[in-house]
Structure 1
């Protein structure tokens, strides 16, 4: 639904993050499928939280 191959989708799931170049497709697919709450703002917020967690881990 987001226009990427199986391996790319598998890697994003394994890492627990969606590559930013896929965000437009994820938002569009979510709207098309009626999945509420998925927006650019939500994706950006998740990415920021993950970056902060990584930075905290590196500082420890």
Structure 2
């Protein structure tokens, strides 16, 4: 699994962090998503996919 983010699209909703805090974080100054792990382990795949679905800006792309 490979995860990419588009920080320019991010609207700082934080849904990604709630869904997969091991993979996503937010910048302190503006809340924009920060990718902690571009290749998360298989055990986090469901959480990462959920984060992508929940993202209101569609700023997360997941490739298998």
Work out whether the TM-score is over 0.5.
Answer: no
What TM-score results when the alignment is normalised by the length of structure 1? Answer: 0.38
TM-score, normalised to structure 2, is: 0.36
Which structure ranks higher in relative contact order (CA pairs < 8 Å, sequence separation ≥ 6)? Answer: 2
Q: Which has the higher helix share?
A: 1
Return the structure number with greater strand share. 2
